[in-house]
Structure formats: C-alpha cells, structure tokens
Amino acid sequence: MKSLSAITIGLLLLTSFANANTAAGKQQISKSKSTYHWMKFNAADKYARSKVADLGVTIEAVVEDYVMGLGTEDDLKAAKASGLLETSFPLTPKMLDFPAYDSNFHNYDELTTELEKLAAANPGLVRLSSIGKSLEGRELHLITLSTDGDDMSRPAVFFMGGHHAREHLSVEMALKLSQYLVQQYKSDNPRVTPLLANRTVYIVPLVNPDGAEFDVSAGDYKLWRKNRRNNGSAYGVDLNRNYGFGWGGGGASTSPSNDTYRGPSAFSEPETQAVKQFIDTHDNINIVLTYHTFSALILYPWGQKYEHIETEKDYMVHKTMAETMARWNGYTPQQSSELYIASGDTTDWAYGVHGIISFTFELDPGMSPDKNFDPGKGFYPGQKLIEPTFRKNVEPALYLLEHSDNPYRVIESTSTAYGFRADIL
Ligand SMILES: [Zn+2]
C-alpha cells in the first residue's frame, strides 16, 4: 500500500471519522495485538505528505489537502508532537474482518499446495522451486513458467506479491496469474500459447510468508505489514523499505516499532536478500511488477526523490507503459514520489541498479465517491474482490510479457527523440 489517489471523497472520509468517533469507535483492539490508529493530517502537497511519511506513519489515503495514515501508539505520539495531526481514532475490532469470511484466500500451506499441484500437473511447463527462505524458515516459493529447459534463454517478467503481510489480495493476484497462464497455454489460447513459447514467467506470490501467516493467526486479522524480525523492542522490518538503492532516505523509519521501519541496513532481511539474489542472477528479467494493495494505482520510479528518472527514454518507457496499462485496469498511473517520498522500495532498486523497467501496482479497492468506503476494509475487502481484481489485471500482465523482449518498443515511434537504438538494448 502506498496511498490512495482519490481526490473527491473528502466528505465520505470525514463521515467515516465521525462514525468512528462514536462510542463504538472507542473500543480498542485487544491488548494481545498492536493498537492501530487512523490519523488525519493536514497535508496539501507531496512535500507536506512526505513529512507525514517521515513520521513512520503509513499513508493510506491522499485526499485534496489532507491524508489519512495508519500507525501504532508510538506513531500517534510522534504525530501529535509534529503539529501536523488534525485528528485520530483507534481501529476497532468491528473494522477488521475474520478470515473465516475469506476462506477463498490462501494461507501459506494452502498456497504451497496449490503451487505443488500446478507444478505436478504440468511438467515441462511449470517448475516450483524457491528463491530462498524467510526469517522463520518458510520457502519463498518461485513458479517458473518456461517451455524451454533453460528458462534463462528467454526474456522474462518477474511478478511478485505479498511484500506486505496484510495485503493478501496481492498474493491471490500472483497465484491466479500463474494458474491462468497455464490453463490458457494448455487450451491453446492463440495469444498466450505463442507468448509462453517465447518468454519466461517468474512468479513469487508471497515474499513475506512469516508476516502473512502472523496476520491471519488466531482467527482474526491484525493489520500486520512487516516481516517478523525480532528487533528487541518490537517486531518487523518493512521489506519494501529495505532494498538497497537509496536505502535510508525519506519515508522510511529508523524506529523498529514503526510500520515503515527500514531495518538496520540495506538488505538486512532474508526475504529482500532472496529477491536481490534472484534478480542479480537472472539477466533475462527485463520487467518487474510487484503487486501491493490497495488504492488502484500504477507506480513507477522514483519513489525516493521528486525528480524524474534521469534517462529520458527510460522515463518515457515507464510512463508510456503505466498509462497504457491504466486503460485496462482503470488505475491511476504516476511516478511514485508524486504521492510522497518513500525510500528503499523494490522498484527503485530494480531499476536503479539493474535498469529493469519496474512497476508497483496498488490493487483494488480504489475509492470512489459513490461507495460507502470503510477504511478498515481497504486491506480486507473480502473474497468477492479477488476475481474482478484479477480479471482487470490480466491484460496488463500479458502486455508486459509481450514487451519483455524489448520494453523500449513502446516508444519506438519517438525513438529518434530519445536516442533509441535497437542494437544496444
Ligand atoms: Zn504494500
């Protein structure tokens, strides 16, 4: 989750605040869990929003001249001291959902079973392996789709889900994508079958299995975001602030108790190390797409600074692809830092170090003026959203695969202006 782009729903959000400040809103989450608070800050532009992000709060909604953020008790203290906070209220159990209602989501064991089934039923196309182990020893499952024994002989797209524990829909998106591509290949889909004959697809559906398991443990959701690193005084490192390009910059906390804690050093966590090592050793990966939730956005570097990508043709490829994909899923395409500064994320590193064209999707739900939006439902929108969210994001995935031999084709019509030369790509 990075932020919401809606700009016309202020009244709805204010209504949510008003409702939550009633007696029901004063019930606290039980002491066995972290108490989270929704906070509203006055912040009219990206510079002000970056100051909020620097408090360690995760910004969940950007609305005209204010933002809504989510944070812990410590974050709330910092927010109050900052002078930027307008109001806050604690999240109540009522705002969270129960996994029993969401049985179509897959926990780690169920995900493992699905991936094993997919691989076992499709030898010669699907391979299940692992890019490494999580802190608690869970395999970071990798699905490789390749009709060639040597998957590295073909251009590839690397899809990831589940960097943030509570963003379960991102895991379902990645899992369904793997199943869909296999099904369509086998049924001779005239588009998918030739595509898979010439491309490699890498999918890691769940980068943060420890956090995801913790989030659904003991029967209810916990709004957990980070991995499960024991920092002594608190748990967890924000894996999407732990990557090693611009690590330690803005929008990433130095405090272990914060939800955006960057970790003690770049790539301090086994999960980010595994992703790094995989990308470092797979030169055929030309595009990365990392799924998050929520707010319906397509984001591209930079996140760590306000400037555009310096290489004009690289900037134009990201921009053009993001705008094209937005036509299919209806999301808002933009440079990540247009929302606020955040450092140490996956896409800044993948592009910054390897020059890989890299996107973050913040999946559904978005926010719309005609919807009675409950902010607590953003991360737990219910299983009914799995299928429609997947459907609208199939075309962007196919588009990336089609262009993974040479993403610069999307700006070929303006290639002269950007110094494009096919022979050096
Ligand atoms: Zn996220």
Return the pLDDT at 402: 96
DSSP 22: S
Q: Which residue has the higher pLDDT, 420 or 42?
A: 42
Three-class SS of residue 348?
A: helix
pLDDT at 269: 98
405 Cα: distance to centroid of ligand 1 (angstroms)? 28
Task: Check residue 34 and give its pLDDT.
Answer: 56
CA distance 170 to 190: 27
Task: Please state which CATH number belongs to domain 99-410.
Answer: 3.40.630.10
Tell me how far the alpha carbon of residue 292 lies from the centroid of ligand 1, in angstroms: 4
pLDDT value of residue 31? 33
- CA distances (Å), 69 to each of 37, 72, 266, 284, 404, in order? 8, 10, 25, 38, 36
What average pLDDT does this structure show over 278-303? 97
Q: Which helix (H) or strand (E) element contains residue 214?
A: helix 209-215
Judged against a pLDDT cut of 50, whether residue 265 lies above it is answered with: yes
For helices 346-354 and 270-280, give the axis angle rounded to 10 degrees.
30
Architecture of the structural domain at 10-95: 2-Layer Sandwich (3.30)
Residue 244's alpha-carbon distances to 254, 349, 357, in angstroms, are 15, 6, 17
pLDDT of residue 30: 33
Q: Which of 205, 204, 265 is nearest to 229 (CA)?
A: 265
- Distance, CA of 400 to CA of 393 (rounded, Å): 11
Task: Report pLDDT for 413.
Answer: 63
Ligand 1 center from residue 177 Cα (angstroms): 19
Q: What is the DSSP letter of 29?
A: P
Mean pLDDT confidence for 17-23: 33
Q: For residue 413, report the distance from its CA to the centre of ligand 1, in Å.
A: 34
Q: What does pTM read for this prediction?
A: 0.82
The mean pLDDT of the chain is 86
Q: Model confidence over 357-393: pLDDT tens digits? A: 999 999 998 865 444 555 557 888 888 999 999 999 9
For ion ligand 1, residues whose CB falls within 5 Å? 1, 164, 167, 292
Helix (H) or strand (E) holding 280: helix 270-280
Type of residue found at 24: A
The three-state secondary structure class of 308 is coil
For 167, residues 6+ apart whose C-beta sits below 8 A from its C-beta are 1, 161, 291, 292, 293, 294, 379
pLDDT per position as a tens digit, 338-357 = 999 999 999 999 999 999 99
State residue 244 phi and psi, 5-degree precision: -100, 40
Per-domain boundaries in the chain: 10-95, 99-410
Residue positions annotated with a catalytic role: 362
